[in-house]
Structure 1
Amino acid sequence: MAHREHRYAVRLDWTGNLGSGTSAYRAYSRDHELTAGTKPAIPGTADPAFRGDPARWNPEEMLVGALSSCHQLWYLHLCAAAGIVVTAYTDDAEGVMEEEAGGAGQFSGVVLRPRVMLAPGADAAKAMALHHEAAEKCFIGRSVNFPVRHEPVVRVGSGTEPV
């Protein structure tokens, strides 16, 4: 397949001017909204440790969520292509960011913990192996400079309950 380029445009609008802009560290809110086309806005903010609103999404959570979502989408695609029926999928993903004394920081790693339920008769060993292939194909996972570990659990059963 030929090389293709995909572009993603997102608009960020800061909504946190409380009247005096950034006149002081505590004088403004970290609130903002992310939009793309006609999609619903994502209410964003800073992590609560950095004066953010705990009811809104912060960039660190969105990064972990993007990794989890990308892996899940690739995994479901690979299972469908292999004839493996997934009936439920959940992931309790967790990322660790290390903050330095001067305030800078970076992620040191993310762990994805997908729990997958397969339809009766499904090949659980093949389904487990497809997690590795999904990790190799995930656009977001391939783009980060920190390790993304995978700790999947796969079960075969009846119903759609998560593992």
Structure 2
Amino acid sequence: MFGEHRYRVRSVWTGDRGTGTSGYRDYDRAVSISVEGKPELLASADKPFRGDPARWNPEDMLVAALSECHLLSYLHACVQAGVVVLAYEDDASGLMREDGSGAGRFHEVVLRPRVTIADAAMRDAALAAHETAHGWCFIANSVNFPVRHEPVIEIVAG
């Protein structure tokens, strides 16, 4: 199943306070992001960049995209490996550093998936499925910084 896939997103700045971008402190960083047929996402800059901390920011969304992509790839890898996953949670984090010029970059993202599986005999395959999932993750394959994994495998108490 090879092919090209295009994704369309509409971003609309909604932060004009009446004077546009007349000064750095004169406008709100509010943005609405939409994809046809999906709920609108309210976004902003991160709080240190004068954004609204109650809204999603681009850095949050990048870490979330990596986390979800790995999760979905992992579930597929587990199906193929015969691993029955009963629960999956990830407490992912990303490290971004500013370089002093007004720019910056991510240096790494660490995924910390906690996976509950049905049988102790599946543990090794469940761990190995993380490497398979990492190789399959479209988002991880598209970034130029390390995406590390610190998985924990738990067995359902039976």
Which consecutive residues of structure 1, in runs of 5 or more, have no partner in the other structure? none
TM-score by length of 2: 0.96
Q: Which consecutive segments of 4 or more residues in structure 1 shift more than 6 A?
A: none
Contact (CA 8 Å) 2:81, 2:129: kept in 1 or not?
A: no
Cα distance between partner residues in 2 of 1:121 and 1:92 = 23
Cα distance between partner residues in 2 of 1:122 and 1:23 = 63
Q: Could you say which residue in structure 2 is the equivalent of 1:41?
A: 40
Contact (CA 8 Å) 1:84, 1:122: kept in 2 or not?
A: no
Letter in 2 for 1:39: K
Cα distance between partner residues in 2 of 1:78 and 1:122 = 16
Cα distance between partner residues in 1 of 2:82 and 2:40 = 36
Alignment of 1:145 with 2:123, yes or no, is no
Cα distance between partner residues in 2 of 1:67 and 1:108 = 14
Cα distance between partner residues in 1 of 2:104 and 2:81 = 40
Q: Could you say which residue in structure 2 is the equivalent of 1:16?
A: 15
Which consecutive residues of structure 2, in runs of 5 or more, have no partner in the other structure? none
Q: Aligned-pair RMSD on alpha carbons?
A: 1.2
Matches within 5 A, 1:1-163: 1=1, 3-158=2-157
Query: Secondary structure of 1:33's partner?
Result: strand
TM-score by length of 1: 0.93
The percentage of counterpart residues that share the same residue type is: 57
Give the CA deviation at 1:122: 4.8
- Number of residues of Structure 1 aligned to a counterpart in Structure 2: 158
Cα distance between partner residues in 2 of 1:12 and 1:45 = 11
Give the CA deviation at 1:144: 0.0
